[in-house]
Chains A and B, each alone.
Chain A
Amino acid sequence: MTSGTVFDIGYQNYHGVREGRSRGRLAVYKDGLRAALGLGRGGRAKILPWFFIGVLSAIGLVMALVAGAAERLGGPGSAERAHIPTHSDFYGIASIILFVFAAVVGPELLCRDKRDGVINLYLVRPLTGADYILGRWLALLTVMVLAAWLPQIILFLGLSGGDPLPMEYLKAHWWDVPRFLTAGLVMSLYATTIALLTASFTSRRAYASVFLVGLFVITTPFTAGLAQEMKGSAGEWMSMFNLTNIPVHVNDIIFGEISEITSEAPARKLASWILASWCAAWTIIPATILWARYRRLAP
């Protein structure tokens, strides 16, 4: 008789590696990325995030095509002469879209866990509240940075590829790359932190999203209008409360030129260090509050 074996597929204890909190943080980060991009969550969850990324990328592409067309029609340098928007203008143009993107995706990362009760499961694992919010914050930041950089990269490739002398273009304009990467990071830090802080106050995604959209889209024309009305330094300070523009001013500082959108804002007249610190404050203070809220979380 040939031999036979019965294999044990009963419960086995786990004797493998246990990696501690760093694995937990990484897992929360990975899960946050997937949640933000709608991966593993059905088709419907992918619609909004990828739509926004698509729209932003399309803007970058269109800007590249328009600049290329201008160069072809009017000869080299005509794009600049015609003030066709380029890297320095992109974040001004796309800021609203980026903020709405954060408003839509940010709550996805925090509100669902609260609403479904999953947060209770995290809290009884070797993971602190601070670990959790850090993982989620990094995840949203990663996605925002992706959304902010991709269109600029497309634009850069478009402009350099469309130029009759790509290598010349690169030599002349390579300085744009670190600039837009930095500006994109500033935009992303700002949007990520404010979106998550808002989302941390509610378990309903819709409330958080609507509040954020209201905050950016509705207060903007209001403060801009007020700032125009109030002359002098009062007007400049009022204009500082135009939330959509706060990081765009920093973008202007980085590129050394006022972009299309902020060309009307009285705040542009203020010193660079004021504008930069203001943006830093609007990022660091919300971040601190967010961290404090989650540090001592209990079910």
Chain B
Amino acid sequence: MLEASTGVRVTATEQRVLLSVDHLTKKYGDVTALDDVSFSITDGITAILGENGAGKSTAIKILLGLLQPTSGTATILGHDASSSVETRARVGYMPEHDCLPSLISAAEFLTHMAEVSGLPPSMARTRAADTLRHAGLFEERYRAIGGYSTGMKQRVKLCQALVHDPAFVFLDEPTAGLDPAGREEMLALIRKTHREFGISVLFSSHLMADVERTCDRIIVIQGGHLVHSGEVSQFTKDTETVFIEVDANREELVTALRERGVVVTPDGGGLTIEGPDVSVYDHVRDALVQTQAPLRRMAPRRRALTELFERGEK
């Protein structure tokens, strides 16, 4: 299953169920935080989305064994989440808020966390050093964490979730507060975690762009109910419409296209063209040449994940 010689992990594509939630309900007195929610998570990178408020954080806390459900079950790697403390040795968690000590070095802290997860001291030390190296922290790891930048601290937070080689990790808003460069680094690290380290990821996020770029599947919880669950590609499938943007001569282009019998609709800054018929592309090309309209973009229109939420808006 593993090819170690090239440094790139090749994992079997068996879809084992990492965690699952079955008719999960959680009530606090009159308030229902989760109402009969069921879903399961397999290998890959999954995003869990939803409005701020009880739903998704409650589900995550129950999965981490930190809350008891009112009814229903939550299982991690086949074990009941609330009863088994030992399963937590195979789970990693990166909290959203600050959780790092300031006086200790990253190396010592990570070694300690690895030991707490059950690794013997010498192995813990080696794993700590290796994990920090894979996350891009080199000499800095011997300095006290208090002096790190936000980006470095986020990486240490991720490292402590990975140091004990978990089967999967929960990341709670991993890109919150990071500037664009930091966000990109963190997302790259998340992709690396799955593709190179072979560790599945479940992360919660509010940023659709992050989710689209990184995840295979998404789960949406709203008002305590499961609203969507499926492949990201399902929601961002290319449609059969082609979207064109030109920098000039738009009107002439529209006319030229209509003369060729192409159905054209102005759409924001560009044009939308219907029809899966491949001959359409050549008509477009010829019309562009004829009108000398500079072509900025031509691509099938993709649905964006944000459209999932847009339906409620207008």
Contact = CB atoms under 8 A, between A and B. Distances in A.
Do any CB atoms of chain A lie under 8 A from CB atoms of chain B in the complex? yes
Interface of A: 8-14, 16-21, 23-24, 26-28, 30-31, 40-42, 45, 112-113, 116-118, 120-128, 298-299
Contacts of A113: 101
Contacts of A20: 86, 89, 118
B116 A11 contact: no
B99 A121 contact: yes
A49 B213 CA distance: 51
B168 to A, nearest CB: 13
A42 B119 contact: no
Interface string B53-69: 00000000100111100
Contact of A19 (B95, B100, B113, B120): B120
Interface in B111-125: 112-113, 115-120, 123
B5 A8 contact: yes
Interface majority SS (helix, strand, loop, mixed), chain B = loop
B120 A17 contact: yes
A124 B6 CA distance: 34
Contact of A21 (B8, B85, B196, B197): B85
B210 to A, nearest CB: 23
B112 A116 contact: no
Given A21-B86, A112-B101, A126-B86, A121 B7 contact: no
A11 B196 CA distance: 7
Interface in B195-217: 196-198
Interface in B124-161: 127, 130, 134, 144, 160
A136 B119 CA distance: 19
A24 B116 contact: yes
Nearest to B67: A298
A11 B198 CA distance: 9
Which 9 A/B pairs are nearest by Cβ-Cβ distance?
Answer: A10-B7, A27-B115, A14-B165, A117-B99, A41-B103, A18-B118, A124-B93, A11-B197, A24-B116
Nearest to B97: A117
10 contacts: A10-B7, A11-B198, A19-B120, A26-B115, A121-B113, A122-B116, A124-B64, A125-B89, A126-B117, A299-B66
A254 B196 CA distance: 64
B5 A14 contact: no
B2 interface: yes
B98 A126 contact: no
B9 interface: yes
Nearest to B164: A14
Contacts of B119: 14, 16-19, 23
A116 B144 CA distance: 14
B95 A117 contact: yes
A116 B118 contact: no
Contacts of A30: 112, 115
B104 interface: yes
Contacts of B130: 11-12
Contacts of A27: 112, 115-116
Contact of B100 (A41, A116, A123): A116
A16 B5 CA distance: 20
A118 B101 contact: yes
B4 interface: yes
A45 B103 contact: yes
B84 to A, nearest CB: 9
Contacts of B101: 112-113, 116, 118
A85 to B, nearest CB: 38
A268 to B, nearest CB: 44
A113 to B, nearest CB: 8
Contact of B99 (A8, A10, A14, A120): A120
Interface centre among A8, A28, A45 (most CB of B within 10 A): A8
